[in-house]
Amino acid sequence: MERGERREVGDRVEEELPASGRAVSAGEEEMLRVLLTRRQIVAFGVFVLIVVGFLYFVLPKLAGVGTTVHNIEGGDKWWIAIGVVLELLSFGGYVVLFRSVFVVTETHPPSRIGWKESYEITMAGLVATRLFAAAGAGGVALTAWALRRSGMAPRLVACRMVAFIVLLYVIYAGSLLLDGIGLGIGLFPGGGSFAITIVPAIVAAILFAVAGAMALLPGDLERRLDRWASGSGRFTHSVARAVAAPALAASGVRTAIELIRGRDAGLLGAPAWWGFDIAVLWAMFHAFGSPPPFTVILMAYFIGTLGNLLPLPGGSGGVEGGMIGAFAAFGVGFNLSVLAVLSYRAISFWLPTFPGVVAYFQLRRTVARWREEQGGLQAGAARTGATAPASALQGS
């Protein structure tokens, strides 16, 4: 297939990625098989204990909150149970979105990824996100590796991964934009200063502008630049790699737009992922007192999640501090904020981590099975090719 050519995937149209994009070698794919080592798991366990100890024992004493653990145990059990159910629905939305973006049932041969495999990949990606910093880069790498092992072409994986991220974070940016403007001009209850309402809205508007600019890039951008960068030498190779990045981003954004135009109901998994998770935080406020306006919870939630950008596993500590600080800036009671945020994080962060570890090892067995199946198919094709000449001679 030529570069810049478009092809149909089911009833969707998708652009191929730049041919100059670097192929993933077999060695790199094998490297991802040991993404979680015993040392990393032990180190993560120690880190978990340190963070939990600080958040639930040291921080409350420094802030004069009192015996926070005792107060958490005194929360309304029904609201806490509702929070757990809401979190399960949130992850269900994530799995549904994953299938809508990555699993195309009309392909031949059909995709190896069923509902079980979708669960394993998404939950294992969650664990990788928890263990490694850089805004979930570990989860992205593990997901891409599993998709490649399922038989999906590298270019298709890269394009769909960008589209998946776009579909998720368009909800994030849109919420910041609308809620920030609404709070800033007084349309929504809750107030808030310019710094925590209008500034986030401006950042969201910039993100939309960048995504829009990417979508407007010509489909044959890589081909045009590749001609200029053709040749040998370190400089031209560096240019070729740099060319692949904007073309990849543009292809992913356009794929996300095509998926939205297709009106696939599974794309509702994106707002479900964010909405149910935010609802967990809302339920925790109900468990310990009277919640602030939902628009305030929404803005504090999205500001706090920026803590995932910190060089900490899963943003642990940074997200909690960001949310508590944002609620304080909106005038929400500090004690109530600490109880609600820590309880929310216990449900949304810590609770799914342990089944995610199990899913990771299940995924490794699944990938091993895929490799065996692929090896069997290749061996059968080789035997067929070897016997074909003899059959032709017998028939002559």
Six-digit token string for 199: 């500034």
Determine the pLDDT at residue 356.
86
Determine the pLDDT at residue 139.
79
Contact assessment for residue 72 and residue 342, using Cβ atoms and an 8 Å cutoff: yes
Residue 277 in this model has a pLDDT that exceeds 60: yes
Residue 315 in this model has a pLDDT that exceeds 50: yes
Determine the pLDDT at residue 28.
42
CA pair distance 162, 148, nearest whole angstrom: 15
Determine the pLDDT at residue 153.
85
CA pair distance 343, 349, nearest whole angstrom: 10
Element (DSSP H or E) covering residue 7: strand 6-9
Mean pLDDT of the chain: 76
Between 237 and 369, the more confident residue is 369
Determine the pLDDT at residue 126.
81
Backbone phi and psi for residue 22, each to the nearest 5 degrees, phi listed first: -70, 130
The pTM of the full predicted model, rounded to 2 decimals, is 0.78
Between 218 and 395, the more confident residue is 218
Determine the pLDDT at residue 76.
83
Determine the pLDDT at residue 17.
44
Residue 13 in this model has a pLDDT that exceeds 50: no
Residue 5 in this model has a pLDDT that exceeds 50: no
* Stretch 246-258: mean pLDDT: 84
Determine the pLDDT at residue 30.
44
Handedness of CA 122, 127, 131, 133 (dihedral sign): positive
Q: Of 172, 126, 81, give the one whose Cα is nearest residue 350.
A: 126
Determine the pLDDT at residue 214.
78
Six-digit token string for 150: 């399922």
Residue 154 in this model has a pLDDT that exceeds 90: no
Model confidence band, residue 332 (pLDDT cutoffs 50, 70, 90): very high
Residue 255 in this model has a pLDDT that exceeds 80: yes
CA pair distance 262, 280, nearest whole angstrom: 30
Question: What's at 127, amino acid-wise?
Answer: V
CB atoms closer than 10 angstroms to residue 268? 14
pLDDT digits 0-9 by tens, 352-368: 888 888 898 899 899 98
Determine the pLDDT at residue 312.
62
pLDDT digits 0-9 by tens, 19-67: 434 444 444 444 344 455 566 566 666 666 666 666 555 555 555 555 5
Determine the pLDDT at residue 158.
87
Residue 376 in this model has a pLDDT that exceeds 80: no
Q: Domain boundaries in the chain?
A: 32-154+179-194+262-381
In the block, which residue shows the tokens 């998946």?
164
Six-digit token string for 313: 């596993």
The rounded percent of the chain whose pLDDT value lies above 90 is 32
Residue 163 in this model has a pLDDT that exceeds 50: yes
* Stretch 152-159: mean pLDDT: 86
pLDDT digits 0-9 by tens, 72-120: 666 788 999 999 999 999 999 999 999 999 986 555 556 778 889 999 9
